[in-house]
Amino acid sequence: GDSVTQMEGPVTLSEEAFLTINCTYTATGYPSLFWYVQYPGEGLQLLLKATKADDKGSNKGFEATYRKETTSFHLEKGSVQVSDSAVYFCALKTNFGNEKLTFGTGTRLTIIP
Amino acid sequence: DTEVTQTPKHLVMGMTNKKSLKCEQHMGHRAMYWYKQKAKKPPELMFVYSYEKLSINESVPSRFSPECPNSSLLNLHLHALQPEDSALYLCASSQDRRGAYNEQFFGPGTRLTVL
């Protein structure tokens, strides 16, 4: 079945550091890939998405590129801020099977000033 | 309007109470979802409504009863819950249930505590 694997957290970085959160997937067909962010005490917000191979999603300085050859969708940001502290979920959705949104386990990110 | 709203924000209930969670969206979306999220875990799908009809029930206990009165509203009726049902309940909506590109928009959630 479909699955998403995210790097284990928690991740702690200093402000202005470079961020990478790894995400790899297994899916039938051609999934769309998503990054959601959950700030403390809140619901999930869609951060960015990509719907086909080599697409790059970007938003608020975050980027992720859909790599079909490595089945990856790693999240990157060049310079993180304290306000980026949150839990980040990688997710996929396919056109086949149960058509559900499949989430990774989430990565908790803490940025220290 | 591009948001999903949920009420109440917090709810504390006893095991014999009956309560309801409400969700509303005005984006014209035809699919609506209920998720349950425990601490430090990803959301788990509970129910999916598509065009106001229940299309997916993830073997959720009958003490949770969903209802979709119209295309903008989604309710979750709660009765005889257990303490292990305490969690964050998230509502989401999408343009359509089908299609890999249809992203889901989430509400802020209701934090439920069962005593």
- Least Cα distance to A57 among A35, A24, A26 occurs for A35
Is residue A82 helix, strand or coil? helix
3-state helix, strand, coil in chain B (%, to 5): 5, 55, 40
Which is it for strands B110-114 and B10-13: parallel, antiparallel or unpaired? parallel
| pLDDT tens digit sequence for A6-30 | 988 899 999 999 999 999 999 988 8
Contact A43 B45 (CB under 8 A): no
Q: Which residues of chain A have pLDDT under 70?
A: 96-99
| pLDDT tens digit sequence for B5-54 | 999 999 999 998 999 999 999 999 999 999 999 999 999 999 999 999 99
Distance from the A106 Cα atom to the nearest Cα atom in chain B, whole angstroms: 6
Contact B40 A30 (CB under 8 A): no
| Contacting residues of A for B88, CB less than 8 Å apart | 43
